[in-house]
Structure 1
Amino acid sequence: MMLGASSLLNGLRSPLPSAHNLRSFGRGTKLMLLSPPLSASASSSTSDQSKSKPWLLVGLGNPGKMYTGTRHNVSFEMIDAIAEAEGISVSTIRFKSIVWKKVLSCFSVMLAKPQTFMNASGESVGSIVSYFHVPLNQVVLMYDDLDLPFAKLRLLPKGGHGGHNGMKSVINHLKGSRDFPRLRIGIGRPPGKMDPASFVLRPFNKKEREELDFALQRGLEAIRILLLEGLNKSATFVNSSQPSELMNR
């Protein structure tokens, strides 16, 4: 999906909604939670940089109802939350992915959810990047991470795959390059001796659902900052914010 500065970037900063309101993600509620535009000079600088270079925000997951609401699909939820916040519902199937595209103002942003199943995600991502000539520093991969505490986010400018099969596939289809940003969404470690493969397919309990909703909220704000002010400021914001801090505001 391609979003523009007039929507994603021009919302009003407001207090975080209650956990009850956050539960409405995906149910037709538009959340106006993004910050005011930058000053004219900063906005102009950002728009000049992004005018001809699209951004690609990708959530890795598995297609199908049986995987909906599971840990392995939290990044699909992140993509859905961005679309929901902006009221964008028109999508197409291209490059083995659900893709939303919209051009508004000077920003061109695509949202994608590969439908190849997790382990073959790179087939879709590689094709989109190649066809639209997306610079790798404007390809943001979002995925679940067993090594991060539950609902903790971590934004990094580049890195390895960390054993994540979806990221392995993406890196392989980007000719081995690891130089693209990634937003890791913590799902925590499996309890006891549970097989990680089984754990990632488990749904969330009520408390986890509320914590995850706040993490998605924080992720939305991180994306706004990333597009307007750059990766460093976005990483500073998201990497230092804790779910407990947000829930206590």
Structure 2
Amino acid sequence: MSILLQHSNNYLLHTNHIQSKMSVAASISSIATVRFPNCRRHCFRASPSLSLRIMAQFSSSAASTPPSRSEAAAVEPKKPPKLPWLIVGLGNPGKKYSSTRHNVGFEMVDAIAEAEGIALSSVSFKALVGKGFIGDAPVIFAKPQTYMNKSGESVGAIVSYYKIPLQQVLVIFDDLDLPFTKLRLLPKGGHGGQNGMRSIIDHFKGSRDFPRLRIGIGRPPGKMDPANFVLRPFTKQEREELDFTLQHGIDAVRILLLEGFNKAATFVNTAKPLEQCS
């Protein structure tokens, strides 16, 4: 009988890969029906004490074995989805204002969206809207159709609906106080006399803590009224220079969303002038 017990123990020692009590019980059951040719009886029944010792051995082994990657992943809590960035370009709707200085915010948003393969094909919240991703960052593009001085009505509604933190609202607009085609990325600030930005700040309950990308359009020549100047179209040479600036803005926004504000600000604010890059 001791020989039979030894055979049984040797067999069980080779089943250490079994990791559950049910599997162990099944193994014990299979041993109980093994035929031994030299035994008068055709089967061997393991004693209750032996079964308990085997169960204890496998329970201890299973407890000391760390969970596999798949098991660990199954118990890990799911991360909440990322909140989108809202990238807003300011301008005025209609052909009358197309390709004018006051609409460079629209042009920049169009350039970024096109580069990323995102179409601004839907109308909601009083804006032309497009949704997609830049890298793994979800993004919403918006071009308010309210006219410049009521831009906040559209932007405020989008931010409220999607619960977007102000730190992820990038507003792109024209700036008379910057040299033509000069870009400036700032983490916050005032409206600088720009009526669209004034409206947005009002709808943010006075908060100015949101990033903005300013595009320089230069000062009006002579004594020209700034209101007339911002509605002037670009010359052929100005258009070529602006196209270079738009490409620079595309790169800046990618860095902002994927690598953070500081790297994007360094890239934009320390950029070489156009004449040094040609």
TM-score, normalised via structure 2 length? 0.69
Q: In the TM superposition, what whole-angstrom CA distance separates every residue of 1:36-78 from its partner, at most 9, and x where no partner exists?
A: xxxxxxxxxxxx9994211000000000011000000001000
Match of 1:146 among 176, 196, 201: 176
Match of 2:154 among 107, 113, 124: 124
Higher relative contact order, chain-length normalized (CA < 8 Å, sep 6+): 1
Q: In the TM superposition, what whole-angstrom CA distance separates every residue of 1:208-230 from its partner, at most 9, and x where no partner exists?
A: 11111111011000001101111
Q: Contact 2:120–2:128 at 8 Å: present in 1 too?
A: no
Q: Superposition RMSD on alpha carbons, in Å?
A: 1.8
How far the C-alpha of 1:242 sits from its partner, in A, is: 3.3
**Equivalent position amino acid for 2:88 in 1:** V
User: How many residues end up aligned between the 2 structures?
Assistant: 201
Instruction: Output aligned runs, 1:153-168, within 5 Å.
Output: 153-168=183-198
Within 1, Cα distance between the matches of 2:98 and 2:109? 13
Q: In the TM superposition, what whole-angstrom CA distance separates every residue of 1:10-29 from its partner, at most 9, and x where no partner exists?
A: xxxxxxxxxxxxxxxxxxxx
**Equivalent position amino acid for 2:252 in 1:** A
Look up the match of 1:218. 248
Q: Contact 1:74–1:185 at 8 Å: present in 2 too?
A: yes
Q: Contact 1:151–1:243 at 8 Å: present in 2 too?
A: no
Q: Report which of the two has the higher share of helix.
A: 2
Look up the match of 1:136. 166
Q: Contact 1:211–1:243 at 8 Å: present in 2 too?
A: no
Look up the match of 1:199. 229
Within 2, Cα distance between the matches of 1:123 and 1:80? 21
The change in CA–CA distance for 1:117 and 1:90 in structure 2 (over 3 A counts) is closer
TM-score, normalised via structure 1 length? 0.77
Alignment partner of 1:62: what SS? coil
The change in CA–CA distance for 1:58 and 1:90 in structure 2 (over 3 A counts) is closer
Residue segments in structure 1 that go unaligned for 5+ positions in a row: 1-47
Look up the match of 1:94. 124
Q: In the TM superposition, what whole-angstrom CA distance separates every residue of 1:76-135 from its partner, at most 9, and x where no partner exists?
A: 000100121122225210000000012577421000000000000000000000000001
The change in CA–CA distance for 1:237 and 1:114 in structure 2 (over 3 A counts) is same
**Equivalent position amino acid for 1:55 in 2:** W
Look up the match of 2:27. none
Residue segments in structure 2 that go unaligned for 5+ positions in a row: 1-77
Does residue 180 (structure 1) correspond to residue 190 (structure 2)? The answer is: no
